[in-house]
Amino acid sequence: MGALIKLILLLLVAVFLASEVNLSTSLYRYEDNEIELTFPVWQTDNPWYYLKWNPSAGEFEQRVMSEQ
């Protein structure tokens, strides 16, 4: 069980390292807080997975590349 948890954590770190993460934060304006994740980093025009979250606007956008 411990080996499975280590493997999952290792895979999550590998995915994170292969992703482009844009984090915008502000202590003064709640509207400026946002996170944008694009996976993989070498394919930013047509990513396999895209996530954008802005908690102040209630905006949550998630796209997964579909098979053509």
pLDDT reading at 66 higher than 80: no
Domain ranges of the chain: 19-64
Coil, strand, or helix at residue 23? strand
Nearest CA to 47 among 7, 13, 20?
A: 20
pLDDT of residue 12 exceeding 70: yes
CB 35 within 8 A of CB 22: yes
Question: Residue range 52-68: average pLDDT?
Answer: 84
State yes or no: pLDDT of 14 exceeds 80: yes
Res 68 pLDDT > 60: no
